[in-house]
Structure 1
Amino acid sequence: MGEPDASAATMLASDFAALPDLIRAHGRERGDKPAIIFGERVVSYAVLDRLMDDIAFSLQRDGVEPGDAVAILGPNMLEYLLVFLGTLRAGCVAAPLAPSATPEQLAAMVADCGAPILFHDAAHAIDVPVRKVYLEHLLDWIDEGVPAPVRIAPGDAFNIIYSSGTTGTPKGIVQPHAMRWVHIGRAPGGFGEAVTMVATPLYSNTTLVSVLPTLGWGGTVVLMAKFDARDYLTLAEKHRGTLTMLVPVQYRRIMADPEFDRFDLSSFTLKTCTSAPFPAALKADILARWPGLLVEYYGMTEGGGTTALVCNAHPDKLHTVGKPLEGQDIRLIDDDGREVPQGEVGEVVGRSGAMMTGYHGRPDATDAATWYDEAGNRFIRHGDIGRFDEDGFLTLLDRKKDLIISGGFNVYPSDLEAVLVTHPDVVECSVVGMPSEQWGETPVGFYVGAGEPAEILGWCNAKLGKTQRLADLVRVDALPRSAIGKVLKRELRDRYSA
């Protein structure tokens, strides 16, 4: 285990190091280096280390104790990230909340995590019976001081991330410091010189798996307040970005910018993608026009198993999400919990050193998300349906809950979407299952683009099997998406029902 006063290199080579201790070491060793850039504001590692101390000291002053949750609500802003990191320095648990949730959901999440304090911006004031601090007035709340030292153990909770539920209260996913250490420790050493472009929300695990390793290794985070394709390209060229984690809809908008090819992106060494289906044609376009490696990761906020596809090395496997990373045990099981042979379809379950402790206060949900093999090893159910090919690459077919059973036949929406999107008038699409008196369920498609729905429907159904054919096709101005680009199929179902 790394010692808090050891060098950053020593800690990074150890069995475990806590992120606050790594940032302190970088503050000592490379204090003038920019840690965070937000617009015209630049925070060096020395200043970041001092601000984390001040925030931790102020939390302790207000009676917030190690192990307590600290709720954070707001858009991407410098103060948000400072509070997140200062919370960790105090030995507390960061609980970032999604601004897209309803006030009722947000209040329920604050109550669920038991946070005695909520940091929020002026646009997201909610009525909760805890102390509230405006992020815009963070410096007024802070007192300068040295916090009481806190020893962080691998099993201590690092953060609670709430799942993106569209009804009811999202489940709180408790991730320990050990899980975050795996994310930091398995990052290549080049992260120390990384300039990481961040254009996804800070409350999302998608964002944290690139921000935290960058800070752990002593790189620079360039934080955008909100995503805009042209602004992203401008900032990436200005700061000589080397690394980025984007979701597919962001890549699509960036690549579609008519001025894309005039921007100098030659500094990029690594681009990654996760969180939503990443079309093979889009991957191929990025490979052809944007320098550097392109890697797609597949995994869950809850942890479990992770796969990676290095697209540059496997241009013939762009339809897959790659192979399991080293140390990741991923298997496929049937509805009875039995493993299926290679080549057959099954539900994805995964096991690794990066796994959630469980859902906060929800042992029933934790049990439902767990599968054990014959040796008693714990796996997490991913909720996806997939198939391993003969080379060990995993192809995802669909979310298990989105599987359509029509007339007793399994219909995978992704198969239908793959055909529909090849029509020249279709820009993007989604297929959902709707109730049917005749078939039990029947597939209905939604698309963004031109052309007449009836003509495209006939064209698509002529290419599909008899049991796959779409019952209806609806043109929409845009597909409803979460903040990290996942299509909200429930909203499509509700819209069609209405």
Structure 2
Amino acid sequence: MTTAAEMLQSEFCSFADVIHAHATERPGAGAIVAPGKRLTFAELDSYADRIAVGLQQHGVQSGDCVAICGLNGWAYAALWVGILRAGGCVAPLAQSSTPEALVLMLADSAATLFFADANIASEMDLPDTVTHVSLDSDAAFGAWLPEEGVSPDPVAIDPEQGFNIIYSSGTTGTPKGIVHSHQMRWRQVTAFGGAIFTPDSSAILSTPLYSNTTLVTFLPCIGNGGKAVLMQKFKTREFLELSEREKVTTAMLVPVQYKRLMEEPDFDSFDLSAYQVKFCTSAPFAAELKADILKRWPGGLVEFYGMTEGGGSCALRAHEFPDKLHTVGQPMPGHEILLIDEEGKPVPQGEVGEIVGRSGTMMKGYKNRPEQTRETEWYDEAGNRFIRTGDVGRFDEDGFLTLMDRRKDMIISGGFNIYPSDLEAVVAEHPEVEEVAVIGVPSEDWGESPVGVVVGPSDAEAVRNWTNEKLGKTQRLAAVHIVDELPRSAIGKVLKRELRDRLKLG
């Protein structure tokens, strides 16, 4: 039998197979630590088998999507492995989405099984074609599971078939589904193996399992035989207590979480000596905060810059380059990043341009959206495919990338992606609103917060309250400002940069 170590040296292997190999070689080793329950690799593997059998009994075929929506927990983690073992494609959905958006995502993914907390499913108008399985308790989930000791029919995995679909947040229309292949995810698992994740590793995860931010740590950690410590909700003291008790070696956090941890009065009283490295991504990361973390928190600090769509990514090893904390680092090994001008031509070193990148970790495309997939692609003269980020940056003389602005108007709040067009569509439905623009403004607590600027109404707070009742929790407007008119360019485009400048001044 091929060992886990041999699998991890291969160009491709099924993720579910390597979990089985770890379970065979180290059955009693810890795999998952979740609220109320711990799983060894043998237990995780057994649950994965039972889940896969249940899916096959339901009629799930290779390539079919299975949806999950709920808080982090042992069952959520086991579902990832079980769905993949059955040959399915995981569609993890954000529990902060509106019921209407969740129904649209289920329809787009064509999932016929929906594992979700009961309070989420109860608010949805689920079609008859979708079967809901509750994740609210071990008993509820256990009632669906086949008996222990069953084995699923073996399924051959094509490296290019869908591993997961990550949906953008959305309130109107169908959110975009980013499809990642098995090959892409396997490359992430092996890229982080050895130097970062080993069987002795322990990673704490306090962001949701539907987020790519979480998955780029969760999958490589358990894929390399490490232990994943899951939190349902981020709380500073609980995070620190878990880190000390579980001897955590790695964490993936967004900047707002780092900020709150460093502000925790008792932070320095916890034993965090087991930490080897900490990761950060998903939002602007202040240089001052990085410096404070380096001073007070053992282990290295690495900031990643990239997109859920993949393409080119940068990494800043802050502990090695303390004079580059204002940057997002250099392109990672095997990643190529270029800056292009408005005409799609590469710019010289030192000049500002839109960031495009390519690597072995790139999305297959947006599900059911070939035109939008093409819009996010750029090809060089040799025909190589790059992913456009919509961000603007500049490389310094040492090859470190500094982000200058975000050409796309996406707002990143608390590590969550918020698309202004989704919010604008909701605000525009208000009977008194004539025009609307939503922009991101700096927030000490969240990094950025969405703010609406409207023409027409007389009561800004009434518009904000009306809108927020129709939005997901992470999308809600922090404020609404009333103006006489929106600034526009000669061709009628709203000048959002000018709106941001006005708010800063006013």
- Cα 1:123/1:221, change in 2 over 3 Å: same
Corresponding residue to 2:157 among 129, 149, 152:
152
Corresponding residue to 2:14 among 15, 18, 21:
18
Q: Is the 8 A contact 2:100 2:171 kept in 1?
A: no
Say if 2:380 is the partner of 1:380. Answer: no
- Which position in structure 2 is the counterpart of 1:143? 146
Q: Which runs of 5 or more residues in structure 1 are unaligned?
A: 404-412, 415-431, 435-440, 450-480
Using structure 2 for the length normalisation, give the TM-score: 0.80
1:2-49 Cα shifts (integer Å, max 9, x gaps): xxx411011011111111000000010000001001134110001111
Q: How many residues align?
A: 425
Say if 2:224 is the partner of 1:212. Answer: no
Equivalent positions of 1:263-282 (< 5 A) are 263-282=270-289
Partners of 1:77 and 1:308 in 2: how far apart?
A: 29
1:167-211 Cα shifts (integer Å, max 9, x gaps): 432100000011101110101315121110110000000000000
- Which position in structure 1 is the counterpart of 2:65? 69
Q: Which runs of 4+ in 1 moved over 4 A?
A: 441-449
Q: Please, what is the CA RMSD of the aligned residues?
A: 2.5
Of the structure 1 ranges 253-262 and 39-48, higher mean CA displacement relative to structure 2 is found in 39-48
Equivalent positions of 1:91-240 (< 5 A) are 91-125=87-121, 126-129=124-127, 130-136=130-136, 137-144=140-147, 145-165=150-170, 167-189=172-194, 190-192=196-198, 193-240=200-247
Corresponding residue to 2:477 among 491, 495, 498:
491
Alpha-carbon deviation of 1:91?
Answer: 0.3
Corresponding residue to 2:266 among 253, 256, 259:
259
- Which position in structure 2 is the counterpart of 1:393? 400
Partners of 1:292 and 1:276 in 2: how far apart?
A: 21
Corresponding residue to 2:368 among 341, 347, 361:
361
SS in 1 for 2:310: coil
- Which position in structure 2 is the counterpart of 1:407? none
**Letter of the aligned partner of 2:215 in structure 1?**
L
Partners of 1:265 and 1:179 in 2: how far apart?
A: 32
Partners of 1:155 and 1:316 in 2: how far apart?
A: 41
Equivalent positions of 1:437-452 (< 5 A) are none
Alpha-carbon deviation of 1:497?
Answer: 4.0
Partners of 1:395 and 1:13 in 2: how far apart?
A: 34
Alpha-carbon deviation of 1:487?
Answer: 9.0
- Cα 1:329/1:270, change in 2 over 3 Å: same
Q: Which runs of 5 or more residues in structure 2 are unaligned?
A: 413-419, 425-436, 446-467, 484-506
Partners of 1:186 and 1:446 in 2: how far apart?
A: 34
- Cα 1:448/1:232, change in 2 over 3 Å: closer
- Cα 1:487/1:279, change in 2 over 3 Å: farther
Alpha-carbon deviation of 1:243?
Answer: 0.4
Alpha-carbon deviation of 1:166?
Answer: 5.5
- Cα 1:402/1:93, change in 2 over 3 Å: closer
Alpha-carbon deviation of 1:241?
Answer: 0.6
Alpha-carbon deviation of 1:127?
Answer: 2.0
SS in 2 for 1:191: coil
1:192-249 Cα shifts (integer Å, max 9, x gaps): 2111011000000000000000111100011111100111001101111100100000
Partners of 2:444 and 2:185 in 1: how far apart?
A: 38
Using structure 1 for the length normalisation, give the TM-score: 0.82
Partners of 1:206 and 1:95 in 2: how far apart?
A: 15
SS in 2 for 1:101: coil
Partners of 2:263 and 2:85 in 1: how far apart?
A: 42
Alpha-carbon deviation of 1:447?
Answer: 5.4
- Which position in structure 2 is the counterpart of 1:35? 31
- Cα 1:268/1:391, change in 2 over 3 Å: same
Partners of 2:323 and 2:73 in 1: how far apart?
A: 40
